[in-house]
Amino acid sequence: NTANTVVPTDTDGSSVSDWSRVGANAKMRFSKTELKVGNALAPNLPILVSNDGRLLPQAFEGGILTSKDLDSVTFTAGQLNKSIGRASSNWTDLSVAGATQGSDQFRFAGADWKVTKDLTLQYYYANLEDFYKQHFLGLVHVYPISDNQSFKTDLRYFNSSADGKNSQAAAGYRFNNNGGYASHTGEVDNQTWSAMFTYSLGGHALMVGHQQVGDSGGMVYLGQGNVVDGRGRPEGNGGSSFYLFTDSMINGFNRAGENTTFGQYSYDFAKVGVPGLKAAIAYLSGDDIRDVNRNLGTHSEWERDMRVDYVIQSGVLKGFGTTVRHGTFRGDVATTADTDQTRILFNYTYNFL
SS3 call for 96: coil
How far apart CA 92 and CA 101 sit, in angstroms, is 10
SS3 call for 338: coil
Tens of pLDDT, residue by residue over 69-87, are 999 999 999 999 999 876 6
What is the identity of the amino acid at 110? Answer: G
Pairing of strands 73-84, 119-128: unpaired
Q: What is the DSSP string of 103-140?
A: BS-EEEEEEEEESSSSEEEEEEEEEETTTEEEEEEEEE
Residue 111: CA count within 13 A, CB half-sphere: 11
Task: Say how many C-beta atoms besides its own lie within 10 A of residue 253's C-beta.
Answer: 26
What pLDDT does residue 189 have? Answer: 97
Bigger pLDDT: 353 vs 143: 143
Give me the mean pLDDT over the 244-271 stretch. 96
What pLDDT does residue 230 have? Answer: 74
Structure confidence at residue 1 as a pLDDT band (50, 70, 90): very low
Q: What is the DSSP string of 173-230?
A: ----GGGS--SSTT--EEEEEEEEEEEEETTEEEEEEEEEE-SSS-------TT-B-T
Tens of pLDDT, residue by residue over 95-117, are 999 999 999 999 999 999 999 99
For the chain, the distance separating the N- and C-terminal CA atoms, rounded to the nearest angstrom, is: 37
At the top level of CATH, the class of 25-259 is mainly beta
Tens of pLDDT, residue by residue over 301-339, are 999 999 999 999 999 899 999 999 999 999 998 888 999
Tens of pLDDT, residue by residue over 12-54, are 666 666 666 788 999 999 999 999 999 999 999 999 999 876 6
How far apart CA 105 and CA 62 sit, in angstroms, is 9
Above pLDDT 70, what percent of the chain?
Answer: 91
The sign of the torsion formed by the CA atoms of 259, 209, 96, 179 equals negative
Give me the mean pLDDT over the 119-130 stretch. 98
The total number of residues shown for the chain amounts to 353
Q: Which range among 162-166, 225-229, 316-320 shows the weakest confidence by mean pLDDT?
A: 225-229
Whether 280 contacts 286, CB under 8 Å = no
Domain ranges of the chain: 25-259
The sign of the torsion formed by the CA atoms of 140, 146, 147, 151 equals negative
Q: What is the 3-state secondary structure (H, E, C) of 267-300?
A: EEHHHHCCCCEEEEEEEEEEEEEECCCHHHCEEE
Tens of pLDDT, residue by residue over 275-306, are 999 999 999 999 999 988 876 678 999 999 99
What pLDDT does residue 243 have? Answer: 96
Q: Shortest CA distance to 287 belongs to which of 264, 304, 262, 265?
A: 262
Above pLDDT 90, what percent of the chain?
Answer: 76
What pLDDT does residue 90 have? Answer: 77
pLDDT at 229 over 60: yes
What pLDDT does residue 268 have? Answer: 98
Give me the mean pLDDT over the 165-191 stretch. 94
What pLDDT does residue 292 have? Answer: 85
What pLDDT does residue 352 have? Answer: 72
